[in-house]
Structure 1
Amino acid sequence: MAVLTDEQVDTALADLAGWEHSDGALRRSVKFPAFLDGIDAVRRVGEHAEAKDHHPDIDIRWRTVTFALVTHSEGGITDKDVAMAGDINRIVD
């Protein structure tokens, strides 16, 4: 699987509301109404990620959850990360 160029990532971001290209990964932070809402979203994303065998890095800070996607085995952002970002949007929005 090929690592996407910065231009390809920027093009993909046009269809990924809330995501940015930062520090070599796709990142999105979501602020939830309550702590447990964020935990529930993490659980749902985790179940989906497990089924797809492609796991985001997840940081939980009270009501704000940050998802980061990079294909570590490839050393950069790939189509798998772009697809998972879209999946995460559908799960948390």
Structure 2
Amino acid sequence: MLKLSEEAIESKLKNLIDWEYYDDALHTDFVFDNFKDCMSAMNRIAFECEALNHHPEWTNIYNTLDITLTTHDANGVTELDFKLAAAINKIVEVEEED
């Protein structure tokens, strides 16, 4: 998998709600109603990660989930990171704010 250029990343981010690019990675966070809902989302995301054989760096504190995506083998962001980010958004059902 090839590392994407910063221009390609910025272009792809326009179609990816609530994700940012910095430090050679994609970043987002989600706030849930409670710890149980957060853990449930993490478990659903874990199944998608296994299916794609691509795993996030993530932390959970109570109802907050912080996620960082990067492809270590490519030393940066690849198409696989965007594919997982889109899948995560579908799992969490991110809605665009008007």
Asked if these proteins are the same fold (TM beyond 0.5), I'd say yes
Query: Unaligned 5+ residue runs, structure 2?
Result: 94-98
Deviation at 1:52, TM superposition (A): 1.1
Is 1:73 the counterpart of 2:68? The answer is no
C-alpha contact 2:70 2:81 (8 A) present in aligned 1? yes
| Identity fraction in percent | 34
Deviation at 1:80, TM superposition (A): 0.4
Instruction: State the distance in 2 between where 1:2 and 1:52 align.
Output: 16
Deviation at 1:78, TM superposition (A): 0.2
Following TM superposition, where does structure 1 have runs of at least 4 consecutive aligned residues deviating by more than 6 angstroms?
A: none
2:72 partner SS: coil
Deviation at 1:7, TM superposition (A): 0.8
Correspondence 1:1-93 to 2 at 5 A? 1-93=1-93
The size of the alignment, in residue pairs, is 93
Query: Unaligned 5+ residue runs, structure 1?
Result: none
Instruction: State the distance in 1 between where 2:60 and 2:19 align.
Output: 17
Using the size of structure 2 for normalisation, the TM-score is 0.91
Deviation at 1:67, TM superposition (A): 1.2
1:55 partner SS: coil
